[in-house]
Structure 1
């Protein structure tokens, strides 16, 4: 089924501040996107990674077209995704620009593996993916990058780093599952929803 484009109503403008504020309610897993090869590398912290398909294995990430990572992804046709564990807050902040580090300087102080495509993948990440660019859809300020997964590495850790309401939070599968079970709304209370 194809979607037919239609004219969108633009009479009621929505401010970017309102959208940004509303999106703070969406909890996102924290990942590092890496791009480039050798010393010509860069990376960024994102919460915009999602699985597009498992057959074939494909990921989707949204990247600002002005970001240095975007141009390297376009040039090399590959990118890495490292899903951070709860102990990697310092790496998330470094790749988000805290401290003013840019490019290859952001990689100092952490162990990195070189993927088959040449992109760096973070050692000790919950999961790491080596992706070949399948397609880039440029819309507004961002590019939606679709990547075919060429290699995947996973750890046995369970505690993830998430971002919610402008703050990093640790999500531990064992501890938080028990807390959620205690705080869950009984199923009969949800029937009226």
Structure 2
């Protein structure tokens, strides 16, 4: 087997602002990560959720180690991933700490349930995923958390909330698929019927 080794020079002078600006060009699905049990709960809004594997079901999320959810995730070993619908901007804002909300205050105004792990899961999320911490890799200001999926609840709704260029953006599978087809298909193919 052949392998290719490539030396990459990294400019250590990249500012946090420049990096943040570059990452704003990457569209991310908006989720609320919840952690804790009972009244010892908190949560945060993230765009860093990604699937890791299907067999077994596992996902990855990047967590700021200064976040209030971090010690709860470490203590209890479980977390929830609540993928938000396009009309849940208020929930996304609450879990960023907007208005000074902390801990249990962030959970007000929405309906929550628990599943296998006991962490709060949003009942009307696009999808709510109950996870057990499988591994935590701490690097710099954040940690990569690998979660083994214990349970999943999926909504029939289709409109998701995304974050792009510093703003929330609604993405609707049905409406946006038609719009994309109109602009991406060549005229000869889109007008032809079989």
TM-score by length of 1: 0.91
Aligned: 1:153 with 2:150: no
Aligned: 1:43 with 2:24: no
Residue in 2 that maps onto 1:191: none
Give the drift of 1:115. Answer: 2.0
Alignment of 1:1-150 (within 5 A): 9-10=9-10, 12-150=12-150
TM-score by length of 2: 0.90
Q: 5+ unaligned residues in a row in structure 1: which ranges?
A: 187-193
The Cα offsets for residues 119-141 of structure 1, whole Å up to 9 and x where unpaired, read as 00001001010000000000000
Alignment of 1:163-174 (within 5 A): 163-174=163-174
Change (3 A) 1:19 1:130: same
Give the drift of 1:16. Answer: 1.2
Paired residue total:
186
**Structure 1 ranges of 4+ moved more than 3 A:** 6-12
CA distance in 1, matches of 2:182, 2:8: 44
CA distance in 2, matches of 1:7, 1:142: 25
CA distance in 2, matches of 1:103, 1:145: 20
Q: Secondary structure at the match of 1:67?
A: coil
